Amino acid sequence: MRAECVGPPNFSAFAESLFRSALTAMKKLYSLAAVAVLLTAGALGYHVMAALTPAPDAKYVLLDGSTVDTQAMKGRVTLVNFWATSCVTCVAEMPRIVATHDKYSGQGYDTLAVAMQYDPPSYVVNFAETRKLPFRVAIDNTGSVAKAWGDIQLTPTTFVVNKRGEIVKRYVGEPDFAELHRLIEKLLAEA
């Protein structure tokens, strides 16, 4: 009988495998620790906020032919709604956007509805007049406004901008209006 001799195990491969396993475990542990810190901070009443993005500089051509720019939003909480008359959800949500505007407009809140480039201007004018929209309506006839706001393709897309001109929230599709109202009230209360 002959005995086979088995050499020493490959310690280099074993050490590398052990190091990778330890590194993966540490990453998971740090991720869990970060989540725990954020949850604890929230429970203690600390607010962890991400940096807010300034609303993009853009010029809006309103239905009456006048123009307004993004700087005009500063000092007011503003809802910027990208919509189209051919968008079923946009048309369905518009009465709630009107009601939201009516509820908060006397408190430093404003609404700007931006019709998409492909929307025929005569349709937009007809819609605004027949629905008696109480806020400013712009027509993005070149597509430059939608591009400035992040190349908006889907409607409705709605942004909430704080008094400092920073984007606080983006909704794609119809917003949860109860949540939206809470956010507006919080932003209106800020100095």
Task: Give tens-digit pLDDT for 139-175.
Answer: 999 999 999 999 999 999 999 999 999 999 999 999 9
pLDDT in tens, 63-78: 999 999 999 999 999 9
Residue at 1 is within a domain: no
| The pair of three-digit structure tokens given for residue 131, joined into one six-digit string | 């629905």
> Based on the domain organization, do 32 and 78 belong to the same domain?
no
> What digits encode the pLDDT tens for the residues 31-65?
444 444 444 444 444 344 457 999 999 999 999 99
Q: Do 154 and 183 share a domain, yes or no? A: yes
The reply to whether 141 and 178 lie within a common domain is yes
Q: Has residue 4 been placed in a domain?
A: no
**What is the span of the domain harbouring residue 19?**
10-48
119: phi then psi, degrees, rounded to nearest 5: -80, 120
Alpha carbon distance 29, 181 (integer Å): 38
Q: Is-contact 171 154, C-beta < 8 A?
A: no
By residue count, the chain amounts to: 191
Mean pLDDT of the chain: 83
Give the count of domains, the chain: 2
Domain shared by 95 and 24, yes or no:
no
Per-residue pLDDT, 49? 44
Are β-strands 59-61 and 109-115 bridged in parallel, bridged antiparallel, or unpaired? unpaired
25 and 101 share a domain?
no
Supply the pTM of this predicted model: 0.74
Report the CATH number at residue 170: 3.40.30.10
Question: For 49, which DSSP code?
Answer: -
